[in-house]
């Protein structure tokens, strides 16, 4: 392994000069820069990221915390985040928590121990301590597709839940539905509860009230597409027909939602944009310049397919 010292000797300069060249510092003459660059090329020198991290107190690594990576929405978000991070020279540590409190706590411990510069939270349990733990260690945090954080220090990028649910309820009401329910698999999931809240608000505005469970509902709104698709499977196994007996609405618009066999009515949410922006925001926070808006709400749109229909007469 070639080090700064090797390059320095080869180029006949000091290590700091080489370091300056490597880091693109301005205070190096054109002549020496050339010399050093030649030596670097000759050795194929690559700075040791570990040594640099120890000294500079920045690992150029980010974390991403997810409840379920097997959900294509989260996977797509992660892929986009990884791509953007990599483009900017950052590595991405992905941690799957299953929304389990203990695993979230452990995730925080690992992220702190590994000294990541920032963390994108793509999902967590309601009232999770994870963000606070990170913030307390000076680690930047951004919520992605997770709704509004209560704390000012946390950044966010999300689809507009409120107007999305407004559109969903409006659509269902037009189809004659009055008995609607919101379902989420894991009770007390942060994003789910926020969406449930928005859903209830939209109902109440119309003088309606949500059913406590899918039982007896003519329309079921699921926390996300995966759960909506699972719900179709469950209901159909019970002999119900979608949408004749029950209408189903998802959230995310994962690629599968538009599959001919699925045709899920859902809210379009752009995982790629959210993942990319989340990384951009967290890096802005890392660099201490929150000039641009630190919270960003993307417009939501309802995509109507075949999983919703008129309520039976």
Partner DNA sequence: GTGAAAGCGCTAACAT
Partner DNA sequence: ATGTTAGCGCTTTCAC
Number of shown-chain residues binding its own copies (CB under 8 A): 43
DSSP code at position 241: -
Q: Alpha-carbon torsion 193, 199, 202, 208, what sign?
A: negative
- Nearest-10 crossing angle of helices 72-87, 225-237: 160
Q: State the Cα–Cα distance between residues 22 and 28, nearest whole angstrom.
A: 11
Binding mask 6-45 for DNA (x = CB under 7 A): ------xxxxxx-xx-xx---xxx-xxx------------
- Which residues inside 51-90 make contact with DNA, applying CB under 7 A? 51-52, 54-56
Give yes or no for residue 239 binding its own copies (CB under 8 A). no
Binding mask 252-291 for its own copies (x = CB under 8 A): ---xx--xxxx-----------------------------
DSSP code at position 215: T
For tokens 């994108």, name the residue: 120
**From 88-96, 156-164, 175-183, 291-299, span contacting its own copies (CB under 8 A):** 88-96
Residue 232 contact partner, candidates its own copies, DNA, none, CB within 5 to 8 A by sort of partner: its own copies
Cis peptide, bond prior to residue 148, ω within 30 of zero: no
Q: State the Cα–Cα distance between residues 94 and 123, nearest whole angstrom.
A: 12
> What is the binding site for DNA (CB under 7 A)?
1, 3-5, 12-17, 19-20, 22-23, 27-29, 31-33, 47-48, 51-52, 54-56
Binding site for its own copies (CB under 8 A): 46-51, 53-54, 59, 69-70, 72, 75-76, 78-79, 82-83, 86, 91-96, 106, 109-110, 112-115, 229, 232-233, 236-237, 255-256, 259-262
């Amino acid at each position: 392994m070639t080090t700064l010292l090797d390059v320095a000797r080869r180029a006949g300069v000091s290590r700091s000069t080489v370091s300056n060249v490597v880091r693109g510092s301005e205070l190096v003459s054109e002549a020496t820069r050339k010399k050093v660059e030649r030596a670097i090329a000759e050795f194929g020198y690559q700075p040791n990221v570990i040594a640099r991290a120890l000294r500079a107190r920045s690992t150029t690594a980010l974390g991403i915390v997810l409840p379920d990576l097997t959900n294509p929405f989260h996977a797509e978000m992660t892929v986009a985040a990884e791509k953007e991070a990599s483009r900017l020279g950052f590595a991405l540590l992905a941690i799957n928590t299953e929304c389990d409190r203990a695993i979230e706590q452990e995730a925080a411990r690992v992220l702190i121990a590994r000294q990541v510069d920032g963390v994108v939270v793509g999902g967590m349990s309601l009232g999770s301590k994870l963000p606070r733990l990170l913030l307390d260690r000076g680690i930047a945090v951004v919520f992605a597709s997770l709704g509004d954080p209560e704390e000012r220090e946390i950044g966010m990028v999300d689809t507009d839940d409120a107007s999305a649910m407004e559109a969903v309820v409006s659509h269902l009401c037009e189809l004659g539905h009055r008995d609607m329910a919101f379902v989420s698999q894991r009770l007390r999931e942060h994003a789910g509860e926020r969406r449930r809240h928005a859903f209830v608000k939209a109902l109440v505005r119309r003088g309606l009230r949500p059913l406590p469970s899918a039982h007896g509902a003519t329309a079921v709104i699921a926390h996300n597409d995966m759960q909506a698709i699972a719900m179709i499977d469950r209901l159909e196994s019970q002999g119900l027909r979608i949408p004749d007996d029950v209408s189903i609405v998802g959230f995310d618009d994962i690629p599968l939602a538009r599959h001919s066999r699925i045709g899920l009515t859902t809210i379009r949410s752009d995982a790629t944009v959210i993942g990319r922006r989340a990384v951009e925001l967290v890096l802005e926070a890392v660099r201490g310049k929150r000039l641009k808006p630190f919270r960003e709400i993307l417009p939501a749109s309802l995509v109507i397919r075949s999983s919703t229909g008129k309520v039976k007469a």
